[in-house]
Amino acid sequence: MRILIIEDDPNVANFAARGLRESGHAVDVAATGTEGLELAYAARHDVLVVDRMLPGMDGIAVIQALRSSGSQVPILILSALADVDQRVAGLSAGSDDYLTKPFAFSELLARIEALHRRQAGSEPASSLVVGDLTLDRLKREVHRGGDTIALQPREFRLLEYLMLHAGQVVTRTMLLEKVWDYHFDPQTNVIDVHISRLRQKIDREDGEALIHTVRGAGYIMRAGET
């Protein structure tokens, strides 16, 4: 389990970090809000422990920034402010738990594990998004900018795979393996045909193209420039 602690008081930070490491977790520590945000963006953490009061960027602001960027990490606020209003404010800002200093390490650990337990129970993302295109894996629905797009099963699997790997080139071999379950080269242009059909449905004239071909390599799903 990987934990990020954002806390400016080195005593508290070290105390917590050490204990968590001894419990077998990987711990990153940041002393300021901005540094913390960078670390949070740089790597996936299982739980964040954030001090309420931080020099520069405040803890609440950090949480709001993370949440507004779509992050779902469980966050525990650590604070000296025991006041009920403060606690409520912290929770409303988008955190999942609030622990007041001074705290017992065993409780911090228990709460972190409770947060993680809950998160771990949650399923792999069931809805994929690239640009204004969204695909709901459970409902098996695809939408682009408001309207629903009907896809055939094979088309759906193809798009799903492309979106799961959005931003990375997907080779023909990968597609044959994962979308067609072929473990050999069919020597035909099945893929080309289905890419074409997909494009006609999702990359309609309106809006930018999301499926890009990478000559000699395969295809890539991407919104935005570069």
Partner DNA sequence: CCGAAACATGACCGGACGGTAATGGGCGAT
Partner DNA sequence: ATCGCCCATTACCGTCCGGTCATGTTTCGG
The binding site for a second copy (CB under 8 A) comprises: 72, 74, 84-85, 87-88, 91-92, 94-97, 104, 106-107, 109-111, 113-115, 117-119, 121-127, 137-138, 153
Which residue from 103, 105, 161, 180 is in contact with DNA, where contact means CB under 7 A?
180
Alpha carbon dihedral 170, 210, 182, 189, in 10-degree steps, equals -110
- Asked if residue 43 binds DNA (CB under 7 A), the reply is no
Which residue from 67, 143, 154, 201 is in contact with DNA, where contact means CB under 7 A?
154
CB of residue 71 to a second copy, shortest distance in Å: 11
Cβ nearer to a second copy, comparing 43 with 110: 110
Cβ nearer to DNA, comparing 98 with 219: 219
Closest by Cα among 144, 164, 140, 176 to 220: 164
Which residue from 25, 87, 144, 194 is in contact with DNA, where contact means CB under 7 A?
194
Binding segment for DNA (CB under 7 A), chosen from 44-52, 90-98, 103-111, 192-200, is 192-200
37 sits in which H/E element: helix 33-42
Strands (E), the chain: 2-6, 26-30, 47-51, 75-79, 97-100, 127-130, 133-136, 141-144, 147-149, 170-171, 211-214, 218-221
What's phi and psi for 171, nearest 5 deg?
A: -85, 165
